Amino acid sequence: MACSSSIIGVSSSIYKTNPFRKFTSTPTSSSFHFSNPSCSFTSTDRFKSSFLPAVTSKSSFLSKNRRLSKSSALSDDYSENDFEQESEVTIDKREFAQFFPNQKMSEDTDDMFDDLFKKYGKVVFKGNAQKSAIAEVDEDAECLSFAVALAKVASDVKASDIKLLFVKPLVYWTRFFIIATAFSRPQIDAIGSKIRDLAETQYGRTATGDHKPNSWTLLDFGDVVVHIFLPPQRALYNLEEFYANATLIDLPFENQQTFRS
Amino acid sequence: MIQPQTHLNVADNSGARELMCIRILGASNRRYAHIGDVIVAKNQKVVRAVIVRTCKELKRNSGMIIRYDDNAAVVIDQEGNPKGTRIFGAIPRELRQLNFTKIVSLAPEVL
């Protein structure tokens, strides 16, 4: 069943924010007005994929040893007479309504719960979209090696003051920033083309961003963003100050050349 | 839906507070501009600007709709670099696909 779209209205009048505040990695904001899609859960297939609360054998959710008899399960009002005494894991109707306000207790859900409990025992909610911590760390490590390789290429072309920032805790749309300074447009061109070539040949990744050299040249590899500045622009935009909360990663090569004045 | 004569707030610290749209770049006779479009705007001087927030809602393929409370733009120069050094307010992530990652990287919040 199709869901209606959710509308978000954002009030921007409060946004004279301090740019140095620590950002959350998820795009939430106190001025978000988020209305949930008005889907009603009618099919049990949809229901199966949705939230199941953490239950233990001792929880109140399963405290009462009652089983809904099949005949009365289809209607909403349950009388005491309908309950048979069984020592099986069962669901109390009141608590069910608390946890699943949109769903009506029916024969299907009852059986579904039985099957699930038999299969899994204790059930704890785990979102499908969340990657496991190990997978995330692996990806971060891969990304880091890619970023370090790019930074090395930049230093080979004599870019100066190369900084590698881990910005994943601050922004959600990327993982690493590489900030470098070049001293002339041909040098920027050279750095840009060498970085693109390396990424293309060794890692198979293409960059969007500036193709022509610019006083602030940006190469966007998705989870790694490369900023190449001319010295006055670097001082003007001062990205390191803006991302001061990001962790700086030490690069394993000598790149702290002083600016030519 | 920004059109000529529309007044927009300025979402950066480039100096201007309000801009009036003069022209929409991209095609001749283009009627309206949306988020991510470059316009020519005027506030004592004629400058270029990128629209970053509109009161007209922005639709995403996921079905999400984002609607801001004001129309706002960020002043850019001929090369596409933002003229100001800090951006104010929330920026939608569509600007990244439209090659305005510089604005996104200066934004305090990306929706």
The reply to whether residue B89 touches residue A220, judged by beta carbons under 8 angstroms, is no
Q: Please tell me the distance from the alpha carbon of residue A28 to that of residue A12, in angstroms, as a whole number.
A: 14
The answer to whether residue A22 scores a pLDDT higher than 60 is no
- Which of A75-89, A164-178, B4-18 is the least confident region? A75-89
Q: Which residues contact A149 (CB under 8 A, 6 or more apart)?
A: A198, A202, A203
User: Hey, which of A5-19, A60-74, A131-145 has the most confident mean pLDDT?
Assistant: A131-145
Q: Break chain B down into helix, strand, coil percent, rounded to 5.
A: 10, 40, 50
**In this complex, which of B67, B108, B110 lies closest to A8 when CB atoms are compared?**
B67
> Which of B56, B103, B105, B111 best probes binding to A when mutated, by most A CB atoms within 10 angstroms?
B105
**In this complex, which of A5, A13, A23 lies closest to B65 when CB atoms are compared?**
A5
Closest-CA residue in chain B for A22?
B108
Q: Are A187 and A228 in contact (CB under 8 A)?
A: no
Band of pLDDT at residue A48, cut at 50, 70 and 90: very low
Separation in Å, CA of B4 to nearest CA in chain A: 23
The reply to whether residue A12 touches residue B89, judged by beta carbons under 8 angstroms, is yes
Predicted local distance difference test score (pLDDT) of residue A199 = 93
**In this complex, which of A7, A11, A239 lies closest to B69 when CB atoms are compared?**
A11
> Which of A29, A224, A237 best probes binding to B when mutated, by most B CB atoms within 10 angstroms?
A237
> Mean pLDDT score of chain A, rounded to an integer?
70
- Which of A109-118, A157-166, B57-66 is the least confident region? A109-118
Q: Tell whether A144 lies on the interface with B, counting CB pairs under 8 A.
A: no
User: What value does the mean pLDDT take over residues A141-164?
Assistant: 91
Q: Tell whether A8 lies on the interface with B, counting CB pairs under 8 A.
A: yes
User: What value does the mean pLDDT take over residues A113-130?
Assistant: 74
Band of pLDDT at residue B76, cut at 50, 70 and 90: very high
Predicted local distance difference test score (pLDDT) of residue A110 = 80
Q: Tell whether A22 lies on the interface with B, counting CB pairs under 8 A.
A: no
Q: Please tell me the distance from the alpha carbon of residue A220 to that of residue A13, in angstroms, as a whole number.
A: 30
CA angle A150, A154, A155 (to 5 degrees): 120
Burial class of residue A260, CB neighbours in 10 A (0-12, 13-18, 19+): exposed
Q: Please tell me the distance from the alpha carbon of residue A227 to that of residue A217, in angstroms, as a whole number.
A: 6
The answer to whether residue A11 scores a pLDDT higher than 70 is no
Band of pLDDT at residue A111, cut at 50, 70 and 90: confident
Q: Return contacts of A30-37, CB within 8 angstroms, 24+ apart.
A: A32/A8, A33/A7, A33/A8, A33/A9, A34/A6, A34/A8, A35/A6, A35/A7, A36/A6, A37/A3, A37/A4, A37/A5, A37/A6, A37/B63
**In this complex, which of A13, A21, A225 lies closest to B101 when CB atoms are compared?**
A225
Q: Tell whether A227 lies on the interface with B, counting CB pairs under 8 A.
A: yes
| CA nearest to A112, candidates A165, A162, A176, A43 | A43
pTM above 0.90, yes or no: no
Separation in Å, CA of B94 to nearest CA in chain A: 11
| CA nearest to A46, candidates A3, A97, A93 | A3
Q: Please tell me the distance from the alpha carbon of residue A6 to that of residue B65, in angstroms, as a whole number.
A: 6
Separation in Å, CA of A121 to nearest CA in chain B: 35
Q: Please tell me the distance from the alpha carbon of residue A135 to that of residue A250, in angstroms, as a whole number.
A: 23
Instruction: Tell me which of A129 and B11 has the higher pLDDT.
Output: B11
The answer to whether residue B19 scores a pLDDT higher than 60 is yes
Predicted local distance difference test score (pLDDT) of residue A84 = 44
Q: Tell whether A75 lies on the interface with B, counting CB pairs under 8 A.
A: no
Band of pLDDT at residue A43, cut at 50, 70 and 90: very low
